[in-house]
Structure 1
Amino acid sequence: MDLNVCKLELLNIKMKKRDSEKIRGYLGNKYEKMDILHNHKDDKFIYRYPKVQYKIIDEKAIILGIEEGANIVTNIGINDDKLIIEDKSINTFEKKISINKCDFGVSDDYVTYEFLTPWIALNQKNINNYNNGNDMEKEEILQRILIGNIISMSKGFNYTVDNKIKCWLNLQSTYANIKGLKHVGFVGEFKVNFNIPDYFGLGKNVSKGFGTIKKK
């Protein structure tokens, strides 16, 4: 299937990794009624694949809008010329807006991706099994989680995965700081028989830029 995707890049400012959450906070507060920008309703978190994602890649801020999020991000790119972060106003006049239809779904061939930001795969339920496993068991756990992430993402787009997903991993563990807490993350490459558009996120904290992938 094809997905409508808008990538908004802010070109004139250098930003730190943690600024993705601050951009999300600013736009979420400014457009509070648009829950697609912040995934909260009545102070409760909405569990769904985020269709607006905020990322810092190589010090550049990127806002990704998918499907109904694409028009919203396009309008933000056209109409918003500043960010306010920590009471500091930042001009964002210089920007690039890219709007595309992107292929999504099971592929006949294997596609190689790399993680541009750490993939937060583990949670409280599976981290003990991972830590206590041998190398083969750890890889099998991560393979299952990655496939599960892809299936969950597919449900967010009402796409039915009708073929078996297979993947190969070449990952290294790292640490990621999320709200002042250290989390185990993974970087590196993986192959999977599935088309995923560039800059989509997998795993936990996708809306804040974690698990961002790109085709090799």
Structure 2
Amino acid sequence: MTLIRSMLVVFPQIKVGEDILKFRSFINHQLNRENDLFHNHAEQKNSVIYRYPRIHYRNINGVAAIFGIKEGYTALNELLSEKLDKFPPKFQQFVRNENRTSLALIDTIQTYQLNHWLALNLTKNKDGSTLNREEIFEELNTIDKKKEMLRSILVAQLLGFCREMSVELPQGGISVEILTFNSTGKHKIVSETGTAFFTGFKTTYRSNLLLPDYVAFGKAVSKGYGWQTLIK
């Protein structure tokens, strides 16, 4: 059994719009970009560290929030306890929600809600050509086929997340069922490789995998997309 520590910190006096990047940039400016967990870039210019981000920046009901998991939990806790005096007074008021979660398959079924999940990111075929999931998804002519495509993508993302957290699940043991999905429109994502637009989904699903609350999946999770909550 592996216990994963995570933390969501909400700053009720810091208003944030859709552009999470400005909030993220401000945090890293205050920290002099000294910890790559907060920006996910290597020392070389425009060099991204390819890993599941340990720090995520969020818009929670219009106010700023930061989520930290595993090493990100430790870094975020250090920011709150030792470095917050570098920040403007509005940052001194915050609400912290800490969790320790056993990342494992369980006997009961959990229901989760994904918010602005960017599931249909571009990927590569074995021959190196680009696979456009957005186009494939639009061409599917039934809800069941669309659900199955989203389900298979989510399973791969959940398994990848578990591997990043050093948790190996039994082969074929994970169960995932997409219950509902609704488009939240096209979302503009700015990255080192350019600007692109991806369809977001508000999605509910069931799984026998116990997951930390507020964890995120899909593209651009560090920029406020794809975070989920447990539906009780």
TM-score, normalising length from structure 1? 0.88
Q: Which stretch has the larger CA shift, 37-46 or 172-181?
A: 172-181
Partners of 1:9 and 1:32 lie apart in 2 by: 21
Tell me which residue corresponds to 1:65. Answer: 68
Secondary structure of residue in 1 paired with 2:15: coil
Secondary structure of residue in 2 paired with 1:45: coil
Structure 1 90/183 Cα, relative in aligned 2: closer, same or farther at 3 Å? farther
Q: Which stretch has the larger CA shift, 191-200 or 132-141?
A: 132-141
Tell me which residue corresponds to 2:37. Answer: 36
Structure 1 31/147 Cα, relative in aligned 2: closer, same or farther at 3 Å? farther
How far the C-alpha of 1:90 sits from its partner, in A, is: 6.8
Partners of 1:140 and 1:66 lie apart in 2 by: 29
Tell me which residue corresponds to 2:202. Answer: 187
Structure 1 28/138 Cα, relative in aligned 2: closer, same or farther at 3 Å? same
Structure 1 141/66 Cα, relative in aligned 2: closer, same or farther at 3 Å? same
Is residue 6–residue 71 contact of structure 1 (8 Å, CA) maintained in 2?
Answer: no
Partners of 2:117 and 2:79 lie apart in 1 by: 27
Tell me which residue corresponds to 2:78. Answer: 75
Q: Does 1:54 align with 2:89?
A: no
How far the C-alpha of 1:71 sits from its partner, in A, is: 1.5
How far the C-alpha of 1:5 sits from its partner, in A, is: 1.2
How far the C-alpha of 1:181 sits from its partner, in A, is: 4.5
Tell me which residue corresponds to 1:45. Answer: 48
Tell me which residue corresponds to 1:147. Answer: 155
Count of residues paired in the alignment: 209
Secondary structure of residue in 2 paired with 1:12: strand
Is residue 121–residue 203 contact of structure 1 (8 Å, CA) maintained in 2?
Answer: yes
Q: Which runs of 5+ in 1 are unaligned?
A: 84-88
Q: How big is each residue's C-alpha offset from its partner over 1:173-205, in whole Å with a ceiling of 9 and x where there is no partner?
A: 122232374321110311111111111101010
Structure 1 188/82 Cα, relative in aligned 2: closer, same or farther at 3 Å? farther
Partners of 1:144 and 1:197 lie apart in 2 by: 21
Q: Does 1:174 align with 2:184?
A: yes
Superposed, 1:98-137 pairs within 5 Å as 98-115=97-114, 117-124=115-122, 125=131, 126-135=133-142, 136-137=144-145
Partners of 2:218 and 2:14 lie apart in 1 by: 28
Q: How big is each residue's C-alpha offset from its partner over 1:71-130, in whole Å with a ceiling of 9 and x where there is no partner?
A: 2101222322565xxxxx672111123333122222222110112x30000023222221
Tell me which residue corresponds to 2:223. Answer: 208
CA RMSD of aligned residues (A): 1.9
Structure 1 81/17 Cα, relative in aligned 2: closer, same or farther at 3 Å? farther
Partners of 1:82 and 1:33 lie apart in 2 by: 14
How far the C-alpha of 1:17 sits from its partner, in A, is: 2.7
Amino acid at match of 1:27: I
TM-score, normalising length from structure 2? 0.83
Partners of 1:154 and 1:38 lie apart in 2 by: 22
